[in-house]
A = this chain, B = another copy of it.
Amino acid sequence: MDRPELGFLLSRLMREVMAREKPILDAAGLEMWDYAVLTALAESDAPTQAQLAASTGRDKTRLIGNLDRLEARGMVAREPDPADRRNRIVSLTSVGAKVLRGCRDAIEAMEAELLADLDPADRAAFERALTALAERSR
């Protein structure tokens, strides 16, 4: 009943996950935020930069630099929205999709290893509960 608090547990686990993700992203030459942007891009459809900033939680002025670098490496494309030419529609290129797929596979394998020691039923419940909680607070 008197377990450590959620915040402490979450932050500790989060640090662990990030530490394990870092070498994977380093190998692909990506920063954490680059990866978050690519992931958000793969899930949402033709977002404007403001929408992308909102969905990733990144500050919109900071997002610009990430997009600059990703665009220079041919992973994303910025094109003016034909419907409203003030907007820039960001899209994932085939190169970007390929890099993202590689990182995502490696990260999923890392996560599987991290969760391997859990009781299978607990693990399923953990993932279910975490997804529900994260989904609700959006």
Which chain A residues have a beta carbon within 8 Å of chain B's beta carbons? Answer: 3-18, 21, 36, 39, 57, 104, 107-108, 111, 114-115, 117-119, 121-123, 125-134, 136-138
Contact = CB atoms under 8 A, between A and B. Distances in A.
Given A5-B111, A13-B10, A14-B11, A130 B126 contact: yes
Given A125-B122, A125-B126, A131 B9 contact: yes
Copy count, this protein chain: 2
A104 B3 CA distance: 11
Given A4-B134, A8-B36, A117-B136, 15 more contacts: A3-B127, A4-B131, A6-B17, A6-B130, A7-B107, A8-B39, A10-B14, A10-B17, A12-B138, A13-B134, A16-B133, A16-B134, A122-B125, A123-B129, A126-B129
B131 A125 contact: no
